[in-house]
Amino acid sequence: MNTAELLVQCLENEGVEYIFGLPGEENLQLLQALKRSSIQFITTRHEQGAAFMADVYGRLTGKAGVCLSTLGPGATNLMTGVADATLDRAPLVAITGQVGTDRMHIESHQYLDLVAMFAPVTKWNAQIVRPSITPEIVRKAFKLAQAEKPGAVHIDLPENIAEMEVVGAALRKDSQEKTYASLQSIQQAAVAISQATNPMILVGNGAIRASASEALTEFATLLNIPVANTFMGKGVIPYTHPLALWAIGLQQRDYITCAMEQTDLIIAVGYDLIEYSPKKWNPDGKLPILHINLTHAEVDSSYIPKVEVIGDISDSLEEILKRVKRQGRPEPHSLKIRDEIRADYEQYADDYGFPIKPQKLIYDLRQVLDAEDIVISDVGAHKMWMARNYHCLRPNTCLISNGFAAMGIALPGALAAKLVHPNRKVVAVTGDGGFMMNCQELETALRVGTPFVTIIFNDGGYGLIEWKQMNYYGESTYIHFTNPDFVKLAEAMGLKGYRIESAEDFIPTLKQALEDDVPAVIDCPVDYRENLLFSQKAGDLNCLI
């Protein structure tokens, strides 16, 4: 047995189902070992797509997704997806091929110090310098990748080490028992909530990772406390719940901002500062904060909790609930805010203007998809509208990159989502800019048999940047481009392509595309004049409603 074969045995021991990546000269031994493995290697068209697939696999399963590249340019191509996994708290293991250790002391073809290069974007990384240490490195990599806060790790395998003979075996996986909050912190939290007259819950992705949706919903319901979620916390509480205030996280004022300005206690549950900076909602640091999470709060002058409850989130909520003495309903102001949010959302139900308003597109998308179906949002102007207007009944049914906010994630991410949940409908929502960054992975999706629908918000430019330029300068610069015929592009790849010609076309077209047995692309012209109209409305928003 050589080192590459031992590495594959260790990956099998970790329960790895898929490895996403590209073949190369320096990972030949590893690819040969995978040929005899239960692990399915999925050959992608670009390493960035491979890393995004591993990223989304990790977010949906809680198990580290694995991506593979060769050295040099293959490894540098992985970097964006690896960084996204770290900042979006998705468990991921990246494996790179490398020159032999006998070439590292001199200038050598395609050689880069990959351990040094990946260090800033991973939780931990290491090079296998001796065959015998392979089991320890693999076990540590998966343990750290999956531990809170999860993220990316990196293993570098030199080609001469990969082919060396070795005797060894995978290490036994140690069990990670739950940790529980101290009774003192539980009691302090209960007192803080009991004394608050208008508390508000801010829930983030950590609550999804901790499977705390049911406990959070019960906690909010029994204590009558309204709940706002971050972009990455969608679905922790069903959007139809009467206490759900939907998503917070826009750079501009919105209805939920008004609700936060009226509260006297923020109960932050599974909230991560990287999802939405507290300087946006607590700039002077005066709002009292109760921090409930698996890890301690990051230090930030706008986020200094009066109480930190550190331990299993569901258990913490249940124990606090037993001790809280709280009566009554939420303040009428909070309920009025919810009415305003819902009215704003519903007003687009019968809007048939064309090009289609982003709010209308997203409203109709929600009507077509079931509660368990999955949407992966790319990054761009459409992401702001998806974050604000696409609402979820279940956790992990709308995935948005918001820690790193990397364009190009939606399409490869949708492929991974379909692998994880083959019986659910999966939709990638992207702009025309993000689509062109990784559209080559549609061929991968066709080849591996993962039919999903890609909806392109087509405006012929980088709409989010134009939005910001117009807000700052009143004019836009360097953001426009031309597009290919997306329908013909899809058809040339063996896919289904559709073009929306009117607002009435969208729902029947989407339903048809979701029934196709191959990936489908829907080209949809979008009216992004709504961006600046929203900015104007946000600037005029009067919170004293």
Task: Compute the C-alpha angle 357/361/365, nearest 5°.
Answer: 170
Calculate the alpha carbon distances from 65 to 50, 177, 402, 413 in Å.
Answer: 10, 22, 19, 12
Per-residue pLDDT of the chain (545 residues), as tens digits, is: 999 999 999 999 999 999 999 999 999 999 999 999 999 999 999 999 999 999 999 999 999 999 999 999 999 999 999 999 999 999 999 999 998 888 878 778 878 999 999 999 999 999 999 999 999 999 999 999 999 999 999 999 999 999 999 999 999 988 878 899 999 999 999 999 999 999 999 999 999 999 999 999 999 999 999 999 999 999 999 999 999 999 998 876 777 777 788 899 999 999 999 999 999 999 999 999 999 999 999 999 999 999 999 999 999 999 999 999 887 666 666 778 888 888 889 999 999 999 999 999 999 999 999 999 999 999 999 999 999 999 999 999 999 999 899 999 999 999 999 999 999 999 999 999 999 999 999 999 999 999 999 999 999 999 888 888 988 899 989 999 999 999 999 999 999 999 999 999 999 999 999 999 999 999 999 998 888 887 776 655 556 44
For residues 483 and 130, give the distance between their C-alpha atoms in angstroms, rounded to a whole number: 50
pLDDT tens figures, 442-460: 999 999 999 999 999 999 9
What the chain holds in terms of domains, given with CATH numbers, is 3-162 (3.40.50.970), 183-331 (3.40.50.1220), 347-537 (3.40.50.970)
Calculate the alpha carbon distances from 361 to 234, 375, 388, 399, 508 in Å.
Answer: 19, 13, 13, 17, 13
Single-letter residue type at 489: L
Task: Compute the C-alpha angle 281/283/288, nearest 5°.
Answer: 70
Single-letter residue type at 130: R
Query: What is the 3-class SS of 319-334, one letter each residue?
Result: HHHHHCCCCCCCCHHH
Strand, helix or coil for residue 76: helix
For residues 474 and 493, give the distance between their C-alpha atoms in angstroms, rounded to a whole number: 40
- pTM given for the model: 0.95
- How far is it between the farthest Cα atoms of the chain? 73
For residues 101 and 103, give the distance between their C-alpha atoms in angstroms, rounded to a whole number: 5
**Could you tell me if 147 and 92 are in contact, meaning their C-beta atoms sit under 8 angstroms apart?**
no
Show Cβ contacts of residue 464 under 8 Å, excluding neighbours closer than 6 positions: 379, 380, 381, 383, 384, 431
Half-sphere exposure of 350 (CA within 13 A, CB side): 1
pLDDT tens figures, 336-372: 888 888 888 999 999 999 999 999 999 999 999 999 9
Strand, helix or coil for residue 440: coil
In the block, which residue shows the tokens 């300087």? 279
> Do you know the residue count of the chain?
545
Q: Helix 441-448 to helix 410-420 angle, to the nearest 10 degrees?
A: 10
Q: Which residues of 412-426 are buried (b: 16+ CB within 10 A; e: fewer)?
A: bbbbbbbbbbeeebb
Half-sphere exposure of 365 (CA within 13 A, CB side): 32
Q: Which residues of 460-492 are buried (b: 16+ CB within 10 A; e: fewer)?
A: ebbbbbbbbbeeeeeebeebeeebeebbebbee
For residues 209 and 396, give the distance between their C-alpha atoms in angstroms, rounded to a whole number: 9
Instruction: Calculate the dihedral angle through the C-alpha atoms of 431, 436, 438, 439, rounding to the nearest 10 degrees.
Output: 100
Strand, helix or coil for residue 94: strand
Instruction: Calculate the dihedral angle through the C-alpha atoms of 521, 467, 390, 417, rounding to the nearest 10 degrees.
Output: 50
Helices (H), ranges, 213-308: 213-223, 255-262, 278-281
Strand, helix or coil for residue 402: coil
**Could you tell me if 322 and 494 are in contact, meaning their C-beta atoms sit under 8 angstroms apart?**
no
In the block, which residue shows the tokens 């609930």? 321
